[in-house]
Structure 1
C-alpha cells in the first residue's frame, strides 16, 4: 500500500525506495526532476508513514527509521516536497481537511498558552542559536537584494529595509517592537536611527539576553525589554514593528492583533509587520512542525491578513512579497548548523539534531517548492500619514548609517 501511494505521488524526478523486507523499487516520474533514495527500516515506520505522512516522515527520520540512501537529507526531501506539493497522498488530503476544520482550536492562543508555545522553541539553550544564526541573532528572514550577500550582510540589510519603511524621520520616536527576539532590531533602531524602543517578548531566555545586550551596548537608556504579551500593552507609540511574531498570533486572533495595533498607534503613527506567508491561499500547519517546532503556529496567506486589516480600519500603505529570501536564509542556517553539529549534539542529543536538521531542510524546501514566502505590510491609521510615493523608503534605505556589517565568509 505504501508503494502504491508513493507510485501515484512521484510524477517528477526519480525516487529509489528500499523497503523493510529488502525490496528495492525505483519510482520514475513522467517529468524530469531531482533524484534521491531512501530506506525505511521497519514495517511499523512504513505503516505510520502510510497513515499520516505529514507527521510520520519527520518522526521516522528523527528515530533513525527513515534514512537517505546515496544522497543527502536535502536531496531526499527535495524529491518528496516537489511531488508532495503537486500530488499529495490520499491520506494526507483527508487529514488536511481535518486539520483545516480544527485549525482555530489548534491555534487558540490566549496569553498563557502563547507563553508555553514560545517557551517550547525559544527558551532552548541560548548557545544553540549562537551556533547557526548571525552575530545579531536575527531569527527571521534576511534580505538578499543582490542574492550573493553573506548572512551577516543580509541581516543588516533586512533591518535597514524595515527601518526605511518605518520612516524614522526624527529623533526620539517611540517604537514598540512586538516579538523582539534577542533584541537586535530594537538595538539597531535605537543606535542607528535615534529611536526609543520597547521590546516585548514571552521568552525568558530572550529577555535576559536582550537586556544584557542593551547594557553592554550602552543603550539601556534608549531601549528596554519587557516580558509582556502584546495584548497587555496599553501606551500609544509613534511606530510599531513586528518581525517573525505574527505567525504565532493564531487565525482566531488576527482582528485582535490589528485592533491592538490601531489603538496603540498615534494618529500619525506607522506600523510594519513582517511574517511568513503562503502564496496558495489559506491552509493549515504541517502536523510535524506543529508538534515539534512551533505549536500554535501558522503562516497565513495575505488574503487572511488583509481581511482583518480592513475590518479594523487600517490603511495598508505598502505590501511587499519576499519570495526566495527566506530559502537563502535557511540555507545559511543549515550549513552553519552542520558545521557545528558536534557541539550542538553535546548540548542535546542525536535525536534533537536530527529533528532540527529536518526542520531547517524542510523549511527551506517550503520556500523553494511549496509556495511559502514572506510578506511585509506597512500600516497607518490615516490616508495622508506618509508621502505619496515610495521614494522616501529608497532614499533612507541607501543613506549611510554609523553601523555597517563587515563582509565575512558565510
Structure 2
C-alpha cells in the first residue's frame, strides 16, 4: 500500500509537469494515461518494480527494462523520448543524476576484458544491423541523403584523405574493428597497413576478410594492445577506440601515438567526447547505464581535454571537425535496423542482451541529437614541424 500511495502522488506530479504520450499499466489492472493519445505503454508486473519508476533516472528505467522489472511497448524512439522527458521533468541534474566525472582504474587486463565484453558478443550479431562492411563507428553523410553503406565508405575516405595517405605509405589503425578501414586503405589508396584490436572475434573475421580480398601481402591484422606496438608508421588512425583509454591515460595514449608516428607523418583521432567541460558523463544516469551494461570502464573526455592532452604529448592539432549530427543519424539508422530485424537478433542473443542494445542504440541517437555527447575528428602531426610542411587550407580534404 505504501508504494501505491507514492505512485498516486507521483502520477499527479508528472501529469502536472508534462503531457507525455504514456500509459502505465499495473499488475492489479489499474491504468494511468498521461495524455489523450498514449503511444508508449509501461507495464509494471509487480509492486516491487515501482521504485525503479518512481525515481526514473535513465539508469533505473534502463535497468528495470533490461532485467525484466518493467515491460515497455511502443516505438523505440518514442520510448527513449518519454524516458528522457520523465527523467528531466522529475529529477534534478545534480548529485548522482548530474554529469559526474568518473576516474576509472585502467590496466591491460581490465581494458582487454572490457573490449571483449562489448565486441565479442558475436560477429553474426553485429552483421545483422551494421552495414555490409561492418563499420561500427560514426558515418559521414556529406549530403545527408546517403545510404548507410555509402556514408560509411565516405567516412573512411574522408579520414584517409585528411591524413593525405599515399601509395606505398605505412598505416597503423588502432582499434581496427572488422578491418574496413585498412581494407579500403590498401585497395583504394595503395597503403601497407597494420590493424590492431583486442577483440578475438574481430581479429578472426578481419583476417579472413583480408585473405578473401587477396591483400594478405599488404595488410596485417594483429591481436595486440596499442601499448605493445613498435616501429614507426607514416600515418596513424584511431577510430572509435580512445573512449576505452581513460581520462588519466590520455597523455600516455597520445604519447604512444607520437612515438609510433614518422617525423613527417599525420595522425587522426576520431572519437566520442563529453559535452561537459569537466568531462562528466551523460546526465540523469545515462552514463551509469552505459558503464554498467554496454561499455565497462569507458570514459569520455571533453574536446578541450583531448586537445590539451595531445599538445602535452607533443602533437600539434591541425584540424578539428564536429560530426555530432552525423552520429545522431548513424545511430538512428542502426536503431531502425535493430527494430526491423528484431526476430533475427533475438535468435542470435538472449532477451537481456537484446534489450540492452535496443535501448542503447536508440538512446545514443537521442544523446547525440540533444548535445549530451559529441564526436570529433582531430587531425594532428608532431609538434615543431616547419609551417611550410602544413597545408594552406582544408580544400584538399574535399577535392
Partner of 1:205: 201
Residue in 2 aligned with 1:252? 248
Compute the displacement of 1:364 (Å): 1.2
> What pairs up with 1:68-87 in 2 under 5 angstroms?
68=72, 71-82=74-85, 84=87
Cα distance per residue 1:255-286 (max 9 Å; x no partner): 11111111111111100010112334321261
Paired residues of 2:203 and 2:223 also in contact (CA < 8 A): yes
239-248 or 271-280: which moved more? Answer: 271-280
Give structure 2 stretches of 5+ with no counterpart. 1-5
What CA distance in whole angstroms lies between the structure 2 residues aligned with 1:11 and 1:320? 38
How big is the shift at 1:37?
4.7
Mean Cα deviation higher: 236-245 or 375-384: 375-384
Displacement of 1:5: 6.3
1:55 corresponding residue in structure 2: 59
Give the C-alpha shift of residue 26 in structure 1: 2.2
Structure 2 residue 8 is matched with structure 1 residue 18: no
- Aligned partners of 2:314, 2:8: CA distance in 1, in Å? 52
1:361 aligned partner: 362
**Residue 144, structure 1, aligned to residue 141, structure 2:** yes
Distance in 2 (alpha carbons) for counterparts of 1:316 and 1:288: 33
The answer to whether the 8 A contact 1:10-1:27 is kept is no
Task: Pick closer, same or farther for the CA change 1:44–1:183 going to 2, 3 Å.
Answer: same
Alpha carbon RMSD of aligned pairs, Å? 2.5
Q: Which residue of 2 aligns with 1:158?
A: 155
- Contact (CA 8 Å) 2:61, 2:83: kept in 1 or not? no
CA distance in 1, matches of 2:359, 2:232: 41
Following the alignment from structure 2 to structure 1, what is the Cα–Cα distance between the partners of residues 10 and 306? 35
Q: Distance in 1 between matches of 2:372 and 2:56?
A: 21
The question of 1:325 aligning with 2:333 is answered: no
Q: Counterpart of 2:130?
A: 133
Shift of 1:298: 2.3
For residues 111 and 69 of structure 2, the distance between their equivalents in structure 1, rounded to whole angstroms, comes to: 33
1:45 and 2:49 aligned: yes
Q: Distance in 1 between matches of 2:86 and 2:340?
A: 29
Q: Deviations over 1:146-200 (max 9, x none)?
A: 11111111111111111111111x3211111000000000110011101111001
Mapped contact 2:57–2:97 kept (Cα < 8 A): no
Deviation of 1:18 (Å): 1.6
- Give the Cα–Cα distance (whole angstroms) in 2 for the partners of residues 9 and 372 of structure 1: 29
Greater alpha carbon shift after TM alignment, 296-305 vs 48-57? 48-57
1:3-402 correspondence runs (5 A): 7=13, 14-18=20-24, 20=26, 22-24=30-32, 26=34, 36-50=40-54, 53-68=57-72, 71-82=74-85, 84=87, 89-90=91-92, 93-96=94-97, 99-100=100-101, 103-104=102-103, 107-168=104-165, 170-281=166-277, 282-284=279-281, 286-382=287-383, 383=385, 384=387, 385-395=389-399
* TM-superposed deviation, 1:219: 0.5
Q: Give the structure 2 partner of residue 400 of structure 1.
A: none
CA distance in 2, matches of 1:12, 1:392: 50
* Stretches of structure 1 lacking an aligned partner (at least 5 in a row): 29-33, 396-410
Q: For 1:10 and 1:131, locate their aligned partners in 2 and report how far apart those are by CA, in whole Å.
A: 42
Inter-partner Cα distance in structure 2 for 1:256 and 1:43 = 50
TM-score of the pair, normalised by structure 1 = 0.86
The 2-side partners of 1:24 and 1:339 are apart by: 29
> In structure 2, the residue corresponding to 1:78 is in which secondary structure?
helix
Normalising by structure 2, we get a TM-score of: 0.88
